[in-house]
Structure 1
C-alpha cells in the first residue's frame, strides 16, 4: 500500500498534471478526489476531474465540494485555463459521474474511519478543508499533513500582493493555517522555478504515448499567458504538491509562521511569512523555497510515461 492521500483540486491544466502523476504512482494510495471552485466554477472543475481520470482509465472516486468562498465574490482563472478550464479536446467528456456523497462528508468520514493518518494535497482554494475543520475539528488528529499550493513569499498573480488560491478565499486559508496540523506550502516563489521550457515541453511530447503528447499540447495553451508576462514557459504550480509527497528531497523548505491578510485593501489575500519568528507564534508551516526543477521534470515524465 502506498501513502494514503486525498487530492482536493480545481482542474485546471496544472491540476490535470497532479491527477496524472498521482494515478501513475505506485507510491500513493489515492482514496478520493474532492473538487472545489477556483480556476473555473465547480461544475466545470468536477467535470474536468472526471474527464482526466476517465481518460486515464482510473476509477478513483470524485466528490463534489463547495462552490464558492465563505465570504466575498466568486472569481475564476478562465483567462488562463480557458473557458472550460481544460482546453484538451482529446480528453473527451466524462463517462462517469461524481459520487452522491459530498466532499465535506467524504473527508470527515474517511478521516474518522481511517486507521492511518491521511495526507491532504490541496491545489485550489482551501474552502473545502476549512469547512471540514470547522464542522469536525476532531479530524485534525487524523491528518498526517496538509500539502497545499497557494500564497507567495514575494509577489502575487491575482493582485500585486496576492496569489490566486489565497485571493479566492483568504478566510478559509487562515482557518487551515491555524489548524494544529503539519503543513507544507508551495507558493509562487517556488512554483515559478518549475517552468515548462520549450525543451521540457518537447521531452514530454517525446515520451511516445498519448499522455505525453496531450499534456504537452495543454502546456501549449497554458504558455500564452506566461509568455506575455515574460516567462520562458508556463509554471506547473499544482504538481509540486504531489512531487513533494513522492520525493520531498526535490525541494528545500524552511519552517515559519504563515498568515493571510483578511482585511480588505491592497494586501487582501497576501500571505505573510514570519521568517525570523518576530511574532513568537508557532512555526507551523514548512514553506518551499527552492526546487530541483530538473529532478521534478524527471519524476513527472517518468510517471506520465507509464500512462496510456
Structure 2
C-alpha cells in the first residue's frame, strides 16, 4: 500500500534530493502535494525551485503550493551563503513550465488533510511556519496527520548559531507550536543527519551521464563554504533526504522517545532544541528522536531510486520520438 505524503519544504540542495527521492518511489509513496516556505531562500524562489525539481523528475502532476514568506514573529533569516543565490547552486535546471497551484500552502495543507480518506504523513524539510499556522487555523487536522517527520533541531551543537539548527532558528515559535501539538513526531536532528555525508565513496554508484543523477552530482560535488564543516571534510551532509529515506527504509534508522523543548526567547540560544535524550526532565516524550543511521546503505538505496527516475526519462524520450 502506498503511503500518502505531503512535503513541506524550502529547496535548498538537500531538499532537492529529498523531493527527487520521494518522486522516484512511486510504488511506495504517493506525493499528494508540495508546500513551500521561506527558509534557505525567500519563498518565491523556494516555490520556483520545487517546480523545477518536479520537472527534472518528469512529474508535472504533483501540485506545488506557495506558502509563508516570513516566520510567525521574527524577521526572515536565509542561507544563500550555503546554498547559493537561487538555493540550488550547482544544479542547472530549466525554468518551470507551470505556475504554483492555488490556494496558499497553509490552506492547501488544511484541505488535503481534511479531504483525505486516510491520515497523511507530513514531511517537514524547512522551517515549520506553514504547519504551525495550519494547526492554529484548523486544530481538527491534527487527527488526520498519521505522523510528522521533521528535519530540525540539534541534540548537541547548532549549525547556524552555537545553540540552534537552521530550521528551528528561522521560526522557533512555529517549532514550539508543533512540538506542543501531541501529533506523533519523528525528529531528525543534526547529530543524526551529519552522519549522512555525501562522500566521494557514497556517490560512486551515481551515473554522471544520466540527466537526474548528473544534476545531483553537480550539486553535491560543488565547493560550498562552511557547508561540510560540522560533518568533516568528506562531503556535504544530506539532512533532508533522511526524512524520505526513513519512510522508505525504516530499518536503517535507530532512535528513542524523548521530550523536546524549543527556546523561543530572543538571545544567544533562540531556536535551540533541548532534546532530553537521557530522560532527566521526567517530562513525557513528544517525539521519536533519531540518533543513528546506516549512511552507506542509505546512499546505496538512494542511487537505485534515482536510477529509476533516469529510466523514466529514457522511456519518455523514446515515447516522444
Match of 1:115 in 2: 117
**Secondary structure of the equivalent of 2:39?**
coil
Match of 1:51 in 2: 52
**Distance across 2 between alignment mates of 1:292 and 1:243:** 11
CA shift in 2, pair 1:223/1:305, >3 Å: farther
**Distance across 1 between alignment mates of 2:92 and 2:266:** 42
Q: Does 1:269 align with 2:282?
A: no
**Secondary structure of the equivalent of 1:184?**
strand
Shift of 1:149: 0.3
Write out aligned runs for 1:153-232 (5 A).
153-205=155-207, 208-221=209-222, 223-227=224-228, 230-232=232-234
**Distance across 2 between alignment mates of 1:276 and 1:260:** 17
CA shift in 2, pair 1:222/1:192, >3 Å: farther
Deviations 1:105-125 (A, max 9, x none): 111111111110100000000
Q: TM-score, normalised by structure 1?
A: 0.96
**Secondary structure of the equivalent of 1:52?**
helix
Q: Which runs of 5+ in 1 are unaligned?
A: none
Equivalent of 1:93 in 91, 95, 107: 95
Q: Does 1:14 align with 2:14?
A: yes
Deviations 1:193-227 (A, max 9, x none): 01111122333245x52111110110122644335
Shift of 1:89: 5.0
Alignment: residue pair count: 307
**Distance across 1 between alignment mates of 2:204 and 2:214:** 9
Shift of 1:55: 2.0
Indicate if the aligned counterparts of 2:90 and 2:220 stay in contact, CA closer than 8 A: no
Shift of 1:298: 1.5
Deviations 1:69-108 (A, max 9, x none): 0011110010000000012453111011100211111111
Indicate if the aligned counterparts of 1:5 and 1:118 stay in contact, CA closer than 8 A: yes
Indicate if the aligned counterparts of 1:41 and 1:67 stay in contact, CA closer than 8 A: yes
Indicate if the aligned counterparts of 2:91 and 2:215 stay in contact, CA closer than 8 A: no
Q: Which runs of 5+ in 2 are unaligned?
A: 311-321
Shift of 1:278: 3.3
**Distance across 2 between alignment mates of 1:92 and 1:69:** 29
Deviations 1:42-89 (A, max 9, x none): 000000000010122102110111010001111001000000001245
Q: Does 1:248 align with 2:253?
A: no
Match of 1:285 in 2: 287
**Distance across 2 between alignment mates of 1:99 and 1:57:** 17
**Secondary structure of the equivalent of 1:141?**
helix
RMSD over aligned Cα, in angstroms?
A: 1.4
Deviations 1:251-306 (A, max 9, x none): 11110000111112221111001233333322110001001001110121111111
**Secondary structure of the equivalent of 2:65?**
strand
Write out aligned runs for 1:18-29 (5 A).
18-25=18-25, 26-29=27-30
**Distance across 2 between alignment mates of 1:222 and 1:61:** 32
**Secondary structure of the equivalent of 1:203?**
coil
Q: TM-score, normalised by structure 2?
A: 0.92
**Secondary structure of the equivalent of 1:305?**
helix
Q: Does 1:64 align with 2:66?
A: yes
Q: Which moved more, 1:168-177 or 1:261-270?
A: 261-270
Match of 1:140 in 2: 142
